[in-house]
Amino acid sequence: MKRTLLTLALGTALLAGPASANLDQGSPYFGGQLNYLDGDTGLGTVNPIGLTLLGGYQFNPYLGLEARLGFGVSDDSITFMETDIDLELDHYYAGYLVGTLPISDWVSVYGLLGFADAELTASALGQSESASENDFSYGLGLKLGGTENAAFTLEYVSLVEDLDSLNLGFTYRF
């Protein structure tokens, strides 16, 4: 009985090898994004602009892992008690599990679930104060393939509490 089960298991493993070779192999990718940030300060809303570099690995058409590094390129300000307060994104780091649903060969929607850490600096009257926050992060996106390896993305991401981002990006898959 044990020998029959062992033979059956080995035979199944040998037959499964060639069958799994037909599956799409995973692929690494990298890209960049322009970020329109929306931050709620408690005193008002600010909208600084940022850039993000990203890299990831798509294991199959449905699942991937991604890392991001973003930084601010312009700040925004609010006025409180007749004093302008500038708010700038210093940087953020994020890691995501990416679930993708292909709609067609060139269009797909995706969801992001992960964790982000962001640091922002507020400046007024020659003084500045930095604060860092980390939190659960999530988002939804639309990917439009330009070629077999290149794609444009549009997404909404909740980075950390009170800081969201609308992103326009480009990715290239190896």
Q: Which CATH number does the domain housing residue 96 bear?
A: 2.40.160.20
Residue 139 lies in a domain: yes
Domains held by the chain: number: 1
| Over residues 52-80, mean pLDDT | 94
Residue 12 lies in a domain: no
Residue 14 lies in a domain: no
Residue 60 lies in a domain: yes
Q: Which domain holds residue 60?
A: 28-173
Residue 148 lies in a domain: yes
Residue that wins the pLDDT comparison between 118 and 42? 118
Angle, alpha carbons 17-62-13 (nearest 5°): 15
Residue 10 lies in a domain: no
pLDDT digits (tens, 9 = 90+) for 1-50: 444 444 444 444 444 444 444 445 799 999 999 999 999 888 888 999 99
Residue 17 lies in a domain: no
Residue 19 lies in a domain: no
Put simply, whether the predicted model's pTM sits higher than 0.85 gets the answer: no
pLDDT digits (tens, 9 = 90+) for 67-97: 999 999 999 888 888 888 889 999 999 999 9
